[in-house]
Structure 1
Amino acid sequence: MKKPLMTTLSAGLVLASLAAGAQTPGPAATQLAPQAERQVVTRADQLPRRSRTLEQLPSDYLAAPLSALQALGAKLEADVQADLAGYDIRDAATLREYYGAMATLAQLRGDWAAVPAWTAKARALQEKAGARLSSGVLTELLAQQKLQRQDSAWLRAEVQRRFAAMPWADVQDNLKSTKGGIETYNPELVRGAFKSQLDAMAKNGNLVLPDQMVLAIIGARLQLELLPPNQAAIVAGLQAVLDANSQAQAKADLWTPRTFAIPADAKAQPVVLAVWDSGVDLNLFKPAAARGMAFDAEGQPAKDLLRPLGEAAPRWPQLRSLIKGSMDQRAALDTPDSRQFRGTMAGLKADQVKGFSEDMALAGLYVHGTHVAGIAVEGNPFAQVYAGTMLWSAESVPPKLSEPRAQAVAASYRAMVAGFKQAGVRVVNMSWRYGPTAYEAALAYHNLGGAPEARKQEALRLFKIERDALREAIAGAPEIFFVAGAGNEDNSADFQEYIPAGLELPNLITAGAVDHSGSETSFSTFGKTVVVHANGFEVDSPVPGGERLKLSGTSMASPQVANLAAKLLALKPALTPVQLKALILQGAERLPDAEGKPGRVNLINPRKSAALAGIQL
């Protein structure tokens, strides 16, 4: 449930959208009657929660005619319309979700003419250049194909025409990841995920599911209707655009010239840097004298500082290749690993999905902390690594939440920070995040917490126990500088509460992700607490055993900031966390947005921060 901030193509995530940044396919052109007064909504917990009773298991709906879902869809659509009319939602990402829901429900009704109106409304709320151009386009083309009764050849040509007209520099990353997701779409993955997860959730709840899950069922059923017959045409159209731009000049590298390394013979002092993460292979680094401490998913003390693979250990070489292949596929690279990944995804059967998803989740947790540590110490021979290991679960079934469990996790936060203080840690990197919505989902899975509104309050109560403990622990260590990753949901950390990214403390800073050119990544979360950015796209770093992989996520951006802090401390040990934060912020550069105005990206400049600290490089 705690989520490392690394992006991958997950076997359990079956193409949540048909276009980069878009919602599930569909929209309706129903006019929403405005009301004189609407309730202002500035936080996710202010929105209502609802549930629906199914007539059959979720996986059964995948094989049922669309008409079997229309009654559920009509009720959902009425509630979505009521929310849009009754609430003044002050969050663009949430409004995009609502418009996407209207899109999906209109498609369920066969109202293809309504699609462009809703996709256009969602696209107008996109703030990132690539999504502002490309989101919803495939959805619109599929709707147009339906209306005009066009064949796959028409669709291929239109995909190529529409995307070729977009500025390549802005949309290339979106198009590559979209192609990667569609190319690996396998209906068996959908069925397997439904059988192993949604069916179990529905059985636990006596066929009662939250509205979001019901909408997911409708979206997945529509994808099964629309995508398989058009998959090859869409991929071919996108590939033609990629081929036409294969010789395009790469984006200018703003990031690398800003970085610096400390010479091994520099007048510097050792600095202990903690990687509070999923585990670290300390054999690859200079370990701190106190090597670290570990806790399991229930908040209980554990021994392993590097996550054991257990019975999956013999499969590690294959899993490592699949992780690399998933990232190569996301980047539209045709490599042996990406070909193996595509072949594995295409060959999976429904009954293999649960095991495969958990294997990939385990492998992701296994590599995550070590990869983060490699970024945090790059170019700093004076850094010593302390492993603050959280052995998060790789199982697809979420934990059963309770107050004793929340108190145990809260106690583990306090103990971890106490361990940092005792070990003389100066900088802590936290490339993970979670919020109360994850708690709601876990409670709903196990049919705990009562009705939807009561469950929301119970999730908030349990989350608050852990949130307050983490805040108090960090605030109680003013001598330590903490760095958090923003999150990979392309949403606002102001609207969706997260920890640690949403905390505001003098000795904590939260980082979002850009690519080498300084462009905000399509996945990076934003908000008032996300005050700096660093490279988090295809960052090269070691994984356990020493092999290097390129991974993406705000997980990879946050340790770039921790790296800078540790270097400043090695060269200027007297700096306090408040001073470090000020130097990082003063050295950062506010990059312009598409209109040339100061934008959201505040890109750190390690060389400038060092100069401001009086360090000669």
Structure 2
Amino acid sequence: MTQKMRIGFLALLILALPPSLALAADSKPVIEKKDDLPRHEYQLDVKVVDLYEPANRSALLKLAAAVAADAQSDLANYDIRDDNTVQDFYTDLGTVALLESRWQDYLDLLEKRRALETKEANRLTMGLVGEVIARTELAGTANAANAFGEELLKAVEALPYATVQDNLKSTKGRTEFLTRPLVLGNLESTFQPLLDNTGGKISYDVASALVGVSFTLDYFIPNAGAINEVLGDYIAANDVAKEDIWAARTVDLAADAAASPTVISVWDSGVDTAIFGPQGQLWTNTAEQSDGADDDGDGYVDDIHGVAYDLESNKVTELLHPIQRDFGVQPRDWQQYSKGLGDMLANVDSEEAAALRKHIAALPQAEVKDFLESLNLYSGYAHGTHVAGIALEGNPFARLLVARMTYNHTQMPLEPTLEQAERDAAMFREVGAYFRNNKVRAVNMSWGGSLRSIEEALEAHNVGASVDERKALAREIYDIGDAGLREAIGGSPEILFITSAGNSDNDVKFDEFYPSSYEYPNLLSVGAVDSAGDETSFTSLGKVDIYANGFEVESYVPGGDRIKFSGTSMASPQVLNLAAKLWALDPALSVAEVRSLILDGADEKQLESRTIKLLNPKASVALLEQRKAP
């Protein structure tokens, strides 16, 4: 499960269909889950990287035409109840329109995409480069010197900078590290093994991804210099530091406060306990010794500060993955590159960003796979420590119990199996029991996955005699792990579980993302806003209870340095931070009461199409004080 993540004759016909395929008023089958969309397959007989060579243009166009035909068919024949999925189809059709030089069709499809977008910044910047390409082509100025840059400048100057600045900075950042060798190397290491395994058979998801890359190679990279110059000048002329709404909401507990130690857990990729031990913020199992034995008989060896599992969900003792020992990766080197990437996407011209630009500029295609896998490895290695630092900030009464799982870092996903799903499910149940047995009050889970990710991994390994067999096996594997995770959460009603919503700008319920799509009275799903409380472009939707800062959040990484990461992974532990403080101030609070204090203290923010709740620790603590007042 952790891919390391819907009476009379007509009534009888309706009841014979799966719930999500019931007929709509216009007789179209209703699609309420991504899994109920039809599957499509294609045959690709050229190597992935060769698909973008001029000699193979006809093969790319043939694949694009097939993808477009299936997208149009699905849109025409099904009532798809998810705007993000419909947008994706329009995106694919728009890319094909550009490939086929149908400029006005691209603009028409772009308008359809924008009409479905609920995030204002995303709607305003959606398809910005493609729109400029299409307009210059329609005006007959595509080959004129400076035409692209002039048209792009007009487009960005018409935008409200305060609303779109983060998106523009991110686009500028991509111009600084996307190179043709990097893109092709990524494709080759991700998809060529799949083609080799399947004999060239690929699904719609893979085919649409391959077609989509043509935009990056044909239009984005060739115009990267102009995009960078226009956006760089525009940002420099307009940039003003955003208001930071979070400092005024922060509540720190003094060491001499009338508060009690509170056990919390970060269930993640592991934690560098050497950072938090000297601060007195680690939970300690006093019945265990570091002697290679299970001294307390609880099934774990040397579980002094928590428990750990490896990639195959086997118990291990290291609470932080020893990547230098296991893979020969020097964490300090990749810390620099990880920070550099984040800085570029935030338009921060740091030494680390300069070093990464230099490295990528000289990176040959053959070395891209190792580069990306090492970057992924470090990201997983640092993730849990960064999350823990956020959760523990300003709370000397927090006692962290570490629960480590291990994330996969390779470009090629692991092959899902029923046996591995059973081990994953057992891990979920065991960790849930460990939390209960050791009186954990709240747990952060900044991770997740989806049913479709399992199906995609099965495809990569050519598992299943047909697409229907693969779909059924993916569901079986998913359901095993899903049951184990649900038992860990639902079977622990006295523990508050807090999870990141996800970073895919998708509907987590439609896509069946776990655990953020779950509905439990002891679960909160957390979305990400930035320092000013503006919704981020990446935060997922569909089931978000509360939002917190998830953009450029500073915290620890292994070794003790502090750097900034972005994601709902950084927003979620801020809710854990508040929950731990509420329980420290009043250990008698129930899960329902803490959950209520968090949500009732939040500020409502009205967006264009909906209202969201912004975390407000100071207000939640004030509510608690009012409750305790005589």
Q: TM-score with structure 1 length normalisation?
A: 0.91
Q: Does 1:389 align with 2:404?
A: yes
Q: 1:181 to 1:152 in 2, by over 3 A?
A: farther
Q: In the TM superposition, what are the counterparts of 1:451-490 in structure 2 within 5 Å? A: 451-490=466-505
Distance 1:332 1:152 in 2: 27
Match of 1:74 in 2: 65
* 1:493 alignment partner, one of 501, 508, 516: 508
CA shift, 1:137, in A, is 1.8
The superposition leaves residues 574-595 of structure 1 with CA deviations (integer Å, 9 ceiling, x where unpaired) of: 111111111111111220114x
CA shift, 1:82, in A, is 0.8
Q: 1:582 to 1:193 in 2, by over 3 A?
A: same
* 2:606 alignment partner, one of 583, 586, 592: 592
- Please say if residues 513 and 535 of structure 1, whose CA atoms lie closer than 8 Å, have aligned partners that are also in contact: yes
Q: In the TM superposition, what are the counterparts of 1:374-453 in structure 2 within 5 Å? A: 374-453=389-468
Match of 2:534 in 1: 519
SS at match of 2:548: strand
Q: 1:256 to 1:453 in 2, by over 3 A?
A: farther
Distance 1:535 1:223 in 2: 30
Opposite residue 561 of structure 1, the aligned amino acid is V
- Please say if residues 66 and 108 of structure 1, whose CA atoms lie closer than 8 Å, have aligned partners that are also in contact: no
Match of 2:38 in 1: 48
CA shift, 1:152, in A, is 5.2
Match of 1:609 in 2: 620
* 1:265 alignment partner, one of 256, 267, 272: 256
The superposition leaves residues 525-571 of structure 1 with CA deviations (integer Å, 9 ceiling, x where unpaired) of: 011x3111111111111111110011110000000000000000001
Distance 2:215 2:265 in 1: 46
Opposite residue 174 of structure 1, the aligned amino acid is N
SS at match of 1:540: strand
SS at match of 2:401: strand
Match of 2:79 in 1: 88
Distance 1:481 1:443 in 2: 34
Match of 1:29 in 2: none
Opposite residue 389 of structure 1, the aligned amino acid is R
- Please say if residues 270 and 320 of structure 2, whose CA atoms lie closer than 8 Å, have aligned partners that are also in contact: yes
The superposition leaves residues 340-398 of structure 1 with CA deviations (integer Å, 9 ceiling, x where unpaired) of: 11112222111101100111011101110000000001010001111100012222221
Q: 1:460 to 1:314 in 2, by over 3 A?
A: closer
- Alpha-carbon RMSD across the aligned residues, in angstroms, is 1.9
Distance 2:32 2:604 in 1: 26
Q: Which runs of 4+ in 1 moved over 6 A?
A: none
* Segment of structure 1 superposing worse, 92-101 or 392-401: 392-401
Match of 1:299 in 2: 313
Q: 1:4 to 1:175 in 2, by over 3 A?
A: farther
Distance 1:45 1:336 in 2: 45
Opposite residue 531 of structure 1, the aligned amino acid is D
Q: In the TM superposition, what are the counterparts of 1:516-595 in structure 2 within 5 Å? A: 516-527=531-542, 529-594=543-608
- Please say if residues 205 and 446 of structure 1, whose CA atoms lie closer than 8 Å, have aligned partners that are also in contact: yes
Match of 2:168 in 1: 175
Match of 2:298 in 1: none
Opposite residue 582 of structure 1, the aligned amino acid is S
Distance 2:232 2:145 in 1: 15
The superposition leaves residues 497-545 of structure 1 with CA deviations (integer Å, 9 ceiling, x where unpaired) of: 1111111111111111111211111110011x31111111111111111
Q: In the TM superposition, what are the counterparts of 1:110-189 in structure 2 within 5 Å? A: 110-147=101-138, 148=140, 149-151=142-144, 153-189=146-182
Q: Does 1:227 align with 2:220?
A: yes
Opposite residue 514 of structure 1, the aligned amino acid is V
Q: Does 1:204 align with 2:193?
A: no
Q: Does 1:277 align with 2:292?
A: no
Opposite residue 407 of structure 2, the aligned amino acid is W
Opposite residue 538 of structure 1, the aligned amino acid is E
CA shift, 1:313, in A, is 5.4
CA shift, 1:226, in A, is 2.2
Match of 1:238 in 2: 231
Give the number of aligned pairs. 583
Q: 1:182 to 1:3 in 2, by over 3 A?
A: farther
Distance 1:120 1:453 in 2: 35
Opposite residue 200 of structure 1, the aligned amino acid is P
- Please say if residues 415 and 457 of structure 2, whose CA atoms lie closer than 8 Å, have aligned partners that are also in contact: yes
CA shift, 1:56, in A, is 1.5
Distance 2:435 2:30 in 1: 42
Q: 1:331 to 1:168 in 2, by over 3 A?
A: same
* Segment of structure 1 superposing worse, 310-319 or 89-98: 310-319
Distance 1:191 1:135 in 2: 24
Match of 2:322 in 1: 308
Distance 1:254 1:135 in 2: 27
Q: 1:326 to 1:440 in 2, by over 3 A?
A: same
Opposite residue 166 of structure 1, the aligned amino acid is L
CA shift, 1:219, in A, is 2.2
Opposite residue 563 of structure 1, the aligned amino acid is N
SS at match of 1:541: strand
- Please say if residues 485 and 555 of structure 1, whose CA atoms lie closer than 8 Å, have aligned partners that are also in contact: yes
* Segment of structure 1 superposing worse, 322-331 or 65-74: 65-74
Match of 1:22 in 2: none
SS at match of 1:483: strand
Distance 2:414 2:398 in 1: 36
Opposite residue 476 of structure 2, the aligned amino acid is R
SS at match of 1:367: helix
CA shift, 1:267, in A, is 1.0
* Segment of structure 1 superposing worse, 552-561 or 74-83: 74-83
Distance 1:68 1:234 in 2: 29
CA shift, 1:404, in A, is 0.9
CA shift, 1:2, in A, is 4.2
